[in-house]
């Protein structure tokens, strides 16, 4: 930093003084004696031309405790980076035109200069890291409810036999198509990559007349998922909900892969109308016109 100009803010004055850093390093004894200049005080006999600026690792106090000397923060040296543990990565990188920012910038060293009691420059400077940079905790992992919300489950198509109109006192067979195999979905939730694997495990039926039942997944006309006998004529709404189960694996944000069981969740409901009619037998006398 030899020959470069810095703007110094002195305690008790509002003006700024320009100075050039001398060729002597800040660790040399002062010209007037063997005292030392430290972040917490100026030793007896130390002159303005030198002195040990003290250890790094924490910002210096504004005013030393035993003299009128002041450590002044000139600004952040944009090209002097600090590690996450607060260590200076490239000490002595120097100050280039336009490379100074506001003091105290996170992850960037701040340049301090020592100013005498009357505002005179001392030549002692130090690059100081702001200390360990706190590492924020990773965002909360995805919950099963969030994963289910991001997992599209296929709807169901209900089939009947009799297909159009049921008959009272005659069993109606019901089955469905759609959900049948395993569903695998990969999504991103708060920076986590989430892969979900789910499969249907049961079918729940509501027949529209107050009765309900449970059956296996899918089925066919030969092996229906549900069988129900309507007693009264009417227009009913048959509702089907398929229950799903599965698991998901998530990783990201520095968190190793973890697998979580999803438990059971209801898929989308399917509701369709179904009419039921009645067939009555009528006796006819042989030979009559009826």
Clarify whether residues 87 and 161 are in a common domain. Answer: no
Provide the pLDDT for residue 283: 66
What mean pLDDT comes out for the span 232-237?
Answer: 95
Domain identity same for 195 and 268: yes
Q: Are residues 153 and 237 both part of a single domain?
A: yes
Give percent above pLDDT 70 in the chain: 68
Q: Check whether residue 123 and residue 201 sit in a common domain.
A: no
Q: Of 67, 99, 128, which closes a domain?
A: 128
Question: If you average pLDDT over every residue of the chain, what do you get?
Answer: 73
pLDDT digits 0-9 by tens, 20-71: 332 222 332 233 333 333 333 333 333 333 333 333 333 433 333 344 567 7
119 with 159, same domain? Answer: no
Structure token pair of residue 23: 């060729």
Has residue 31 been placed in a domain? Answer: yes
Q: Could you tell me if 215 and 206 are in contact, meaning their C-beta atoms sit under 8 angstroms apart?
A: no
**Domain end residue (candidates: 65, 96, 128):** 128
Residues 64 and 164 in one domain: no
- Containing domain of residue 161, as a range? 144-277
174 and 273 within one domain: yes
Structure confidence at residue 42 (pLDDT): 33
Q: Is residue 134 part of a domain?
A: no
Locate 246 and state its tokens. Answer: 């599965």
- Considering the domain architecture, whether residues 249 and 189 belong to the same structural domain is answered as yes
Taking a C-beta distance cutoff of 8 angstroms, is the pair 117, 69 a contact?
yes
Question: CA triplet 161, 167, 170: central angle to 5 degrees?
Answer: 75
In a domain, 245, yes or no: yes
Within-domain flag for 81: yes
* Residue indicated by tokens 């009528």: 282
> Which among 32-41, 82-91, 202-211 has the top mean pLDDT?
202-211
Report the half-sphere exposure of 10 (CA within 13 A, side-chain side): 18
Q: Do 171 and 103 reside in the same domain of the chain? A: no
pLDDT at 202 over 50: yes
Same structural domain, 251 and 214? yes
Residue 133 within a domain? no
Does residue 283 fall inside a structural domain? no
> Which among 188, 76, 56 is positioned nearest to 126, based on CA atoms?
56
Q: Tokens representing 120?
A: 């005179």
Q: Is the pLDDT of residue 88 over 50?
A: yes
pLDDT at 166 over 60: yes
Determine the Cα–Cα distance for residues 161 and 180; give it in Å rounded to an integer: 20
99 plus 68 within the same structural domain: yes
Helix (H) or strand (E) run with residue 166 in it: strand 165-167
Is residue 284 situated within a structural domain? Answer: no
- Is 26 a domain residue? yes
Distance in Å from the first CA to the final CA of the chain: 121
- This prediction's pTM: 0.51
Each residue's pLDDT tens digit, 97-138: 666 777 777 778 888 877 776 777 777 777 888 766 556 778
Of the residues 98, 128, 158, the one at which a domain ends: 128
- The sign of the CA dihedral 88, 91, 97, 100 is positive
pLDDT of residue 6: 33
Max avg pLDDT among 8-17, 39-48, 139-148, 227-236: 227-236
Same domain, residue pair 164 and 256? yes
CATH number where 187 lies: 2.60.40.10
- Work out how many domains the chain is built from and give that number: 2
Closest by alpha carbon to 196, among 247, 150, 152?
A: 247
């Amino acid at each position: 930093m030899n020959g470069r100009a810095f703007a110094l803010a002195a305690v008790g004055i509002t003006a700024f003084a320009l100075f050039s850093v001398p060729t002597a390093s800040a660790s040399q004894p002062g010209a007037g004696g063997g005292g030392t200049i430290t972040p917490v005080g100026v030793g007896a006999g130390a002159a303005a031309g030198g002195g040990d600026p003290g250890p790094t690792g924490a910002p210096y106090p504004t005013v030393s405790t035993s003299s009128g000397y002041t450590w002044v923060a000139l600004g952040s040296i944009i090209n002097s980076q600090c590690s996450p543990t607060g260590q200076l990565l490239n000490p002595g990188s120097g100050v280039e035109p336009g490379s100074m920012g506001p003091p105290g910038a996170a992850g960037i060293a701040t340049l301090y200069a020592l100013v005498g009691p009357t505002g005179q420059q001392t030549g002692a400077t130090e690059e100081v890291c702001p200390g360990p940079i706190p590492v924020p905790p990773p965002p909360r992992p995805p919950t099963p409810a969030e994963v289910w919300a991001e997992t599209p489950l296929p709807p169901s198509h209900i089939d009947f036999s009799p297909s159009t109109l049921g008959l009272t006192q005659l069993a109606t067979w019901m089955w469905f198509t759609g959900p049948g195999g395993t569903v695998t979905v990969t999504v991103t939730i708060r920076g986590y990559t989430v892969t979900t694997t789910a499969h249907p495990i049961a079918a729940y039926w509501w027949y529209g007349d107050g009765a309900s039942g449970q059956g296996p997944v899918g089925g066919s006309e030969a092996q229906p998922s549900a069988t129900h006998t309507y007693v009264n004529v009417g227009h009913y709404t048959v509702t089907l909900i398929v229950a799903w189960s599965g698991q998901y694996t998530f990783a990201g944000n520095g968190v190793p892969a973890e697998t979580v069981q999803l438990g059971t969740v209801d898929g989308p409901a399917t509701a369709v109308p179904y009419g039921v009619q009645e067939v009555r037998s009528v006796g006819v006398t042989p030979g009559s016109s009826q």
